[in-house]
Amino acid sequence: MTNSVNIDRRSFLKHTAGSTLAACLATGTAPAYGVVGANDRINLGFIGTGGRNQFHIGQYKKMPDVAILALCDVDRSQREKAASQLEQKPALFEDFRQVLDQKDIDAVVIGTPDHWHVIPAMLACEAGKDVYVEKPIGHNIKEGRALAEAAKKYNRVVQIGTQQRSGPHWIEAVEIVRSGTLGKIAVVRCWNAWGINEMGGKGLQGIGNPADCPPPDGVNYDLWLGPAPLRPFNPARFHFYFYFFWDYSGGMVTAWGVHLHDIVLWAMGYDIKAVTCTGGKFAFDDCRDTPDTADIIFECPQYSFTYSVRHSNGRPVTGNMDHGIEFSGTDASLFINRDEYRIYPENDREHPKVVQSQPMELPHKQNFLNCIRTRQRPNADPETGHLAAIPSHLANISYRVGRRIAWDADKETIPGDEEACELLGRTYRQPWHL
């Protein structure tokens, strides 16, 4: 193994004390002092109490410096289920604006469907509250930019739920890529691979083709739709399945792809010139809008960047990696997913260096809380979250218009393509707007 890729992990950490790794780990764990005292309790309100926010509640409730004062969900059964986890019973609300009206709440955690990320987050900033909001930052590119600007305008701490930004082995891997250790990187590919019964599937029927029906008892469906188009209630569009409809999300290209694209752009830079997405509903005969199979080429000046997603076959693409990223350099290759990273030297491909992952969820939350106290930028601030989501949104736009699209990163527009530009934002159902 050559010296350029023979990296001892302890030595690597020692010699990167001033690097991104050291900075991110420090903000994730060190005591902090600032607007909220280091020993003061931070009061949280939760907007959305589905699966993701129930996970967050389970972690935050164990933190001695946090109090959960309010839970909000348009589904009564969801908010009551979430409240049952807590010894000290919070206030329960149906409308997120009631949470923002609570003067004693310092910050909100937003875990709603994607079409409800940005409006509550912007109103929270305006109300003087800090924000943790799940990824992608917004339903579309214009929303991401709007939240990034709102956070600056109101001087709020906003953390995006791209928690890999606080994961030590992800941070290490990015440092390695950026250091030149792998040599000249010509190819980067990333992927997600699921079988037909994974990610909400039910065999070839997928999510099915159920008939419209009345919403469940206790659900404020009009508020659930919010800014999205008015449609009859359908169980295939509700709760987890919202991911598969353009009105509310962008499928797994945005739901999962954003995590992988974020790491690629962090390591390689944000210079995407054009995007082409091909694919379709090849596996499922159901009512979803989004493709179950997609292959995407991002045109970058100095390297080839691709992403593949499938719901039809869960065989790992590389080794045991049903999801991951591969950076292929002239001296070595680096594979990474949420379990580990591996470095394969070109002159010794059979003996990779393997580094196991470490927790990232708790450090990401710790970083958020510390930044509330110090008023520093969090690891995944809204500008970072906005840029991370752009490749996914562009891929979906290319798929929907059926052609390659160019990207002007400075102006954040698709030059010469009015139809594609329409999909940079959306029309809001009144009375909702940005």
- For the stretch 176-214, pLDDT in tens is 999 999 999 999 999 999 999 888 778 888 999 999 999
The answer to whether domain 173-358+388-422 has CATH 3.40.50.720 is: no
Q: How far apart are CA 335 and CA 344, in angstroms?
A: 8
- Position 18 confidence tier, pLDDT thresholds 50, 70, 90: very low
Sign of CA dihedral 257, 262, 263, 267: positive
Cis peptide before 382 (omega within 30 of 0): no
Tell me whether residue 4 is exposed, middle or buried, using C-beta atoms within 10 angstroms of its C-beta: 0 to 12, 13 to 18, 19 or more.
Answer: middle
What is the mean pLDDT of the segment spanning 382-390? 98
Give percent of the chain above pLDDT 90: 85
Q: How far apart are CA 317 and CA 135, in angstroms?
A: 25
Element (H, E) at 51: helix 51-60
| pLDDT at residue 143, rounded to an integer | 98
Q: Is residue 250's pLDDT more than 80?
A: yes
Q: How far apart are CA 109 and CA 69, in angstroms?
A: 12
Q: Is residue 20's pLDDT more than 60?
A: no
Q: How far apart are CA 422 and CA 418, in angstroms?
A: 6
- Position 6 confidence tier, pLDDT thresholds 50, 70, 90: very low
What is the mean pLDDT of the segment spanning 144-167? 98
| pLDDT at residue 316, rounded to an integer | 83
| pLDDT at residue 308, rounded to an integer | 97
- Position 107 confidence tier, pLDDT thresholds 50, 70, 90: very high
* Average pLDDT score over the chain: 91
What is the mean pLDDT of the segment spanning 157-184? 98
Q: Is residue 310's pLDDT more than 80?
A: yes
Q: Is residue 319's pLDDT more than 80?
A: no
| pLDDT at residue 34, rounded to an integer | 35
What is the mean pLDDT of the segment spanning 369-378? 97
Beta sheet of 158-160, edge-to-edge order: 91-93, 66-72, 42-47, 107-110, 130-133, 158-160
- What angle, rounded to 10 degrees, do the helices at 20-29 and 168-179 form? 160
Give percent of the chain above pLDDT 70: 91
- pTM of the prediction? 0.91
What is the mean pLDDT of the segment spanning 261-268? 98
Q: Is residue 301's pLDDT more than 80?
A: yes
- Position 39 confidence tier, pLDDT thresholds 50, 70, 90: low
| pLDDT at residue 68, rounded to an integer | 98
Residue 82 CA neighbour count, 13 Å, CB half: 33
Which amino acid is present at 39?
N
| pLDDT at residue 16, rounded to an integer | 38
Q: Is residue 7's pLDDT more than 80?
A: no
Residues contacting residue 349 through CB under 8 Å, at least 6 positions apart: none
In the chain, where are the structural domains located? 9-165+364-381, 173-358+388-422
What is the mean pLDDT of the segment spanning 114-118? 98
The answer to whether domain 9-165+364-381 has CATH 3.40.50.720 is: yes
| pLDDT at residue 37, rounded to an integer | 54
- Position 36 confidence tier, pLDDT thresholds 50, 70, 90: low
What is the mean pLDDT of the segment spanning 128-140? 98
